[in-house]
Amino acid sequence: MISFSVKAQDNAATDAYFSKAGMKILTGVANVATGWLELPKNIILWNQREQSQFVGWTEGVLRGAVHTVSRTGSGALDLVTFWLPTFPTPNPPLIWDDFYQESKYIAFRTGG
């Protein structure tokens, strides 16, 4: 009976590991491929926040460029470290998960 319980726990841990690793591979590929979408996303976000079109466009382009590099880089990092049992680094994990939320990048989150 104890042997069966240990085997079930091993299977659950293995399934969780492969689930996280698979998620990191998929989000890594998606973020490398779609990281450039941070530029128009941030232009839209900052134009909605600012009263001045000039300030909104300027801030959107500057922040969009930083977020483009960050999302693409974090996607590459997730691809390289897919074997570590962590969650993907960007939040939201994919740019289209919440297009109107400014992205954040938290390296090696282990919890939900």
Which is it for the CA torsion 73, 39, 35, 74, positive or negative? positive
Compare 54 and 31 and report the one with higher pLDDT.
31
Half-sphere exposure (Cβ direction) of 70: Cα atoms closer than 13 Å: 22
Which is it for the CA torsion 48, 51, 53, 57, positive or negative? negative
pTM, two decimal places: 0.72
Would you state the pLDDT for residue 112?
A: 46
Check if the beta carbon of residue 92 is closer than 8 Å to that of residue 38.
no
46 CB neighbour count, 10 Å cutoff: 20
